[in-house]
C-alpha cells in the first residue's frame, strides 16, 4: 500500500527519487480549500501537506506562512492551479459491484419507450451471440409512460431464443421472457411468494414481471458472476467513482463473493476507493466478520462494520409499506419483507456482536415500525449505535418525535439520496396523494429532529454523481429547474449541511470520522480538485462541476488532464 501511495504522490514531480526517499512530505498549495470543521461549519484553507503514508500532516490557513521546500519543509509540491479543493466525496449508499455491472451490461436506464428498449435489447443480443443469458436492467415503465408492467411476450419479440432477465431500475422487480420463465419453472401454478408478487395474465399465467421476493425464483437459475466478472465490475466501478470525485462509499449489502472481490483487490493493491461494507444479511455478516466488525484493512480502505437489512420495497413498484393504501392502488398498502419480530431478531443478532445496523425503509409504515424497533432495542443495546435508516423516504410527521428520541440516545442516521427526490417527485405524488407529501424526502425536518444526514446516490439506481445530489439538496429542483421554487421547498438544506452529508457526516455514519471525511491533520489525504465552489455557486453550476483530480490516501485515482493515450478513467496503477 505504501508503495502505491508514495509512487502516486511522487510521479507528479520527481519519480527518480522514489527509491531514495525515506521521508517525503508533499505540499498541495495554490488552492481554495474548504472542509467541514469539527463544529459543522465550513472552514477555508490555502494549503495542506501530507506524508508518504498518505496522511495529512498540516493544513494552512490564510495568513499562515507556508513551509519551504527542503529537509524541514516539503519535498514535493502539487500546484492546485487556483482550483477549489474539497475533501473526497463519500457516497453513503452505493452498490459497488452492481455499479460496475450496470456499466458493463445491457443498460436500459435512458430508454424513453418500450419500443426503444426492445430495439436496444435485440441489438445487444445480436452483439453478444456467445452469452447463454441476456441479463441487464435499468428499465422503468413509468419513464416509458406504459401505465403497466412490460410482458414476457413483448420481450420474446426482441429475444425469442435465449433466456432474458432484466432488473427494474430500483432493483425491486425483474422482467423475464418466456424462455427465462420456463427455465425458472414459473407457471400459473406457482404460488405468489411472501413479500413478493408475480404479475399475472387474466388466466393466471405469469405475465413476465416478478416483484421483490418473487425475483428469487429467477435468481436460482440466472448464472452467477464468476470471480473474474466481479473483479472487472469492481475495477469499472472504482474508475467511475473516481471521475465523479468520490473517494469512499458505503456498500449497502455486500455479499460474501463481493467481499472476496474487495479482498482480492486489497491484497493486490488495487483498491482505489474506501469501502465501508454492510453485509447483505446476518448470515453474510457472521461469515465475513466472525465475532464482530472486521478491522480496517489496507490502510483504511476496507471495513465491514455492519449489516444491511430490508424492511420493505420501493415506492415505484408499490413495494413500499405504507400506513394507508396507495393513492393510485387503493387495495394495496405495499408489503413488509419482514415481520416486526423477524426484524427485531435480526437487528438484535447484529447488535449483540456490535455490528452497526442499516435497514432499508421507504414507506411510512416501514419507517414507523423500524423506529419503534430501534427504540425497543435501545434499552438492551446501549451506547452510540448509530442506527442507520436507509432511504427514510416517507416518515410520517407523527413519528418525527421518535426520531428525536433515538437520535439523542444511540445516534440515528438518515441515509438519504437527494436525487431520488427529483427523480421520484411525480411518481411519489401519484402513489401518495397530496396529504402524505409533508413527510416525503424530508431532509430538513429529519435533521431538525437530530438525525444525522448522510447523502448518497443508491448507485446504480442513480448515477453516483454527488454534484447532482448537492444541487438537488439545495434546490429540490431537477436539471430543468422544475418545479419552479422547488418541490416541498421547506425541506431544502443549506450548503454546509449538503457538504457535510457527503463528507464528515457520511464518514460518521460509517464510524470512520477519525480516519477520513475532512481535511485535517491525522486524516487520510483524500481530496479532490474541482472548478466550482459549492458554497457560492448556483445549484445549476454545481450540477456541472468539473472534477480535475481525485486523490485517495495521497495517491491520484483520477486526472482529467491525463496525457493523451492514457485512459482517463483508469486509476493510476501501483508500481
User: CA-CA distances (angstroms) from residue 206 to 127, 234, 319?
Assistant: 29, 35, 18
Find, among 355, 219, 224, 337, the residue nearest to 277 by Cα. Answer: 355
Helical ranges in 435-492 per DSSP H: 443-448, 466-475
Q: At closest approach, how far in Å is the CB of 388 from Zn ion?
A: 12
Q: How far is the CB of 446 from Zn ion (least distance, A)?
A: 18
Those residues whose C-beta lies under 8 Å from the C-beta of residue 307, and which sit 6 or more positions away, are 278, 279, 281, 282, 284, 285, 346, 350, 355, 356, 357, 358
Whose Cβ is closer to Zn ion: residue 364's or residue 390's?
Answer: 390
Between 252 and 470, CB nearer to Zn ion: 252
Q: How far is the CB of 166 from Zn ion (least distance, A)?
A: 18
Which residue, 169 or 252, is less far from Zn ion as judged by CB?
252
Question: How near is the Cβ of 136 to Zn ion at its closest, in Å?
Answer: 18
Q: Is 388 helix (H, G, I), strand (E, B) or coil?
A: strand
Of the pair 87, 464, the CB lying nearest Zn ion is at 464
Q: Identify whether the C-beta of residue 150 lies closer than 8 Å to the C-beta of residue 158.
A: no
C-alpha distances in angstroms, 11 versus 3, 246, 277, 569? Answer: 12, 21, 31, 18
CB of 93 to Zn ion, least distance (A): 6
Task: Give the footprint of Zn ion on this chain (CB under 5 A).
Answer: 252, 458
Quick one: angle between helices 340-352 and 281-289, nearest 10? 10
Tell me the C-alpha distance between 251 and 279, whole Å: 8
Which residue number, 167 or 458, has a Cβ lying nearer to Zn ion? 458
Residue whose CB is less far from Zn ion, 424 or 458? 458
Q: Name the helix (H) or strand (E) containing 453.
A: strand 452-455
Strand order, beta sheet including 196-200: 106-107, 134-139, 164-168, 173-176, 206-212, 196-200
Q: Which residues neighbour 512 within 8 Å (Cβ) at sequence distance 6 or greater?
A: 248, 274, 276, 300, 303
Q: Which is nearer to Zn ion, 152 or 461 (CB)?
A: 461
Nearest distance in Å: CB 308, Zn ion: 8
CB of 392 to Zn ion, least distance (A): 12
* Local structure of 464: helix, strand or coil: coil
Q: In what order do the strands lie in the sheet with 84-87?
A: 42-45, 32-36, 84-87, 527-530, 547-552, 555-559
| 50-77 as b/e: b if 16+ CB within 10 A | bbbebbbbbbbeeeeeebeeeeeebbbb
- Residue closer to Zn ion by CB (options 34, 458) is 458
Residue whose CB is less far from Zn ion, 244 or 252: 252
Residue whose cell numbers read 483498491: 271
For residue 112, what are the contacts with CB-CB under 8 A and spacing of at least 6? 143, 144
Q: Which residue is nearest to Zn ion (CB)?
A: 458
Rg, Å, the chain Cα set: 24
DSSP 21: -
SS3 state of residue 163 = coil
Q: How far is the CB of 509 from Zn ion (least distance, A)?
A: 14
The CA-atom distances, in angstroms, between 305 and each of 289, 302, 310, 318, 518 are 8, 10, 17, 31, 20
- Between 231 and 458, whose beta carbon lies closer to Zn ion? 458
CB of 205 to Zn ion, least distance (A): 31
Considering the complex, what minimum distance in angstroms separates the CB of residue 458 from Zn ion?
4
Rounded least distance, CB 437 to Zn ion, Å:
22
Question: What is the nearest approach in angstroms of Zn ion to the Cβ of residue 508?
Answer: 20
Least distance to Zn ion from the beta carbon of 183, Å? 27
Unique residue bearing C-alpha cell 509540491: 77
Minimum distance from CB of 464 to Zn ion (Å)?
12
Q: Are 347 and 355 in contact (CB under 8 A)?
A: no
Closer CB to Zn ion, residue 50 or residue 387?
A: 387
Nearer to Zn ion, 35 or 423 (CB): 423
DSSP 8-class letter at 126: H
Return the number of the residue (9 or 252) whose C-beta is nearest Zn ion: 252
- Which of residues 25 and 462 has its CB atom nearest to Zn ion in the complex? 462
Q: CA 492 to CA 504: how far, in whole Å?
A: 19
For residue 125, report the phi and psi dihedrals to the nearest 5 degrees.
Answer: -65, -40
Rounded-to-integer distance, Cα 574 and Cα 224, Å: 30
Amino acid at each position: 500500500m505504501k508503495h502505491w501511495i508514495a509512487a502516486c504522490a511522487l510521479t507528479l514531480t520527481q519519480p527518480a527519487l522514489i527509491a531514495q526517499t525515506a521521508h517525503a512530505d508533499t505540499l498541495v498549495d495554490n488552492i481554495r480549500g474548504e472542509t467541514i470543521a469539527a463544529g459543522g461549519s465550513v472552514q477555508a484553507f490555502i494549503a495542506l501537506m501530507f506524508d508518504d503514508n498518505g496522511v495529512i500532516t498540516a493544513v494552512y490557513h490564510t495568513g499562515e506562512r507556508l513551509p519551504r521546500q527542503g529537509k524541514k519543509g516539503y519535498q514535493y509540491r502539487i500546484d492546485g492551479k487556483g482550483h477549489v479543493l474539497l475533501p473526497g466525496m463519500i457516497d453513503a449508499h452505493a452498490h459497488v459491484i452492481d455499479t460496475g455491472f450496470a456499466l458493463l451490461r445491457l443498460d436500459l436506464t435512458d430508454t424513453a419507450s418500450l419500443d426503444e428498449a426492445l430495439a436496444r435489447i435485440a441489438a445487444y443480443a445480436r452483439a453478444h451471440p456467445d452469452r447463454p443469458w441476456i441479463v441487464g436492467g435499468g428499465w422503468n415503465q413509468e419513464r416509458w409512460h406504459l401505465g403497466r408492467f412490460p410482458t414476457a411476450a413483448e420481450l420474446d419479440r426482441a429475444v425469442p431464443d435465449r433466456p432474458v432477465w432484466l432488473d427494474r431500475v430500483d432493483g425491486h422487480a425483474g422482467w423475464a421472457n418466456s424462455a427465462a420463465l420456463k427455465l425458472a419453472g414459473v407457471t400459473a401454478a406457482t404460488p405468489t411468494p411472501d413479500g413478493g408478487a408475480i404479475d399475472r395474465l387474466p388466466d393466471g399465467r405469469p405475465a413476465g414481471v416478478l416483484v421483490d421476493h418473487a425475483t428469487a425464483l429467477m435468481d436460482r437459475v440466472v448464472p452467477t458472476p464468476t470471480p473474474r466478472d466481479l473483479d472487472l465490475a469492481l475495477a469499472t466501478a472504482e474508475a467511475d467513482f473516481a471521475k465523479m470525485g468520490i473517494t469512499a462509499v458505503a456498500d449497502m449489502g455486500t455479499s460474501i463473493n463481493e467481499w472476496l472481490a474487495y479482498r482480492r483487490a486489497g491484497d493486490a493493491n488495487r483498491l482505489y476507493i474506501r469501502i465501508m461494507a454492510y453485509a447483505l444479511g446476518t448470515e453474510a455478516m457472521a461469515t465475513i466478520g466472525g465475532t464482530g466488525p472486521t478491522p480496517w484493512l489496507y490502510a483504511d480502505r476496507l471495513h465491514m462494520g455492519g449489516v444491511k437489512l430490508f424492511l420493505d420495497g420501493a415506492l415505484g413498484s408499490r413495494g413500499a409499506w405504507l400506513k394507508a393504501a396507495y393513492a393510485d392502488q387503493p387495495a394495496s398498502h405495499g408489503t413488509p419483507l419482514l415481520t416486526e419480530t423477524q426484524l427485531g431478531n435480526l437487528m438484535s443478532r447484529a447488535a449483540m456482536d456490535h455490528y452497526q445496523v442499516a435497514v432499508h425503509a421507504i414507506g411510512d409504515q416501514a419507517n414507523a415500525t423500524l423506529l419503534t424497533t430501534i427504540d425497543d432495542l435501545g434499552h438492551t443495546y446501549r451506547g452510540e449505535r448509530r442506527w442507520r435508516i436507509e432511504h427514510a423516504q416517507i416518515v410520517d410527521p407523527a413519528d418525527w418525535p421518535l426520531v428525536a428520541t433515538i437520535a439523542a440516545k444511540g445516534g440515528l442516521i438518515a441515509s438519504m439520496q437527494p436525487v431520488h427526490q427529483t427523480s421520484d417527485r411525480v411518481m411519489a405524488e401519484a402513489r401518495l396523494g397530496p396529504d402524505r407529501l409533508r413527510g416525503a424526502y424530508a431532509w430538513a425536518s429529519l435533521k431538525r429532529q437530530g438525525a444525522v444526514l448522510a447523502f448518497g446516490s443508491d448507485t446504480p439506481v442513480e448515477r453516483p454523481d454527488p454534484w447532482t445530489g448537492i444541487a438537488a439538496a439545495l434546490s429540490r429542483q431537477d436539471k430543468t429547474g422544475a418545479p419552479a421554487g422547488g418541490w416541498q421547498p421547506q425541506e431544502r438544506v443549506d450548503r454546509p449541511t449538503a457538504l457535510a452529508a457527503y463528507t464528515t457526516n457520511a464518514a460518521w455514519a460509517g464510524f470512520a470520522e477519525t480516519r477520513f471525511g475532512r481535511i485535517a491533520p491525522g486524516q487520510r489525504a483524500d481530496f479532490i480538485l474541482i472548478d466550482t465552489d459549492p458554497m457560492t455557486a448556483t445549484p445549476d453550476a454545481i450540477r456541472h462541476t468539473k472534477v480535475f483530480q481525485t486523490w485517495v490516501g495521497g495517491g491520484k485515482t483520477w486526472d482529467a488532464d491525463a496525457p493523451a493515450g492514457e485512459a482517463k478513467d483508469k486509476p493510476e496503477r501501483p508500481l
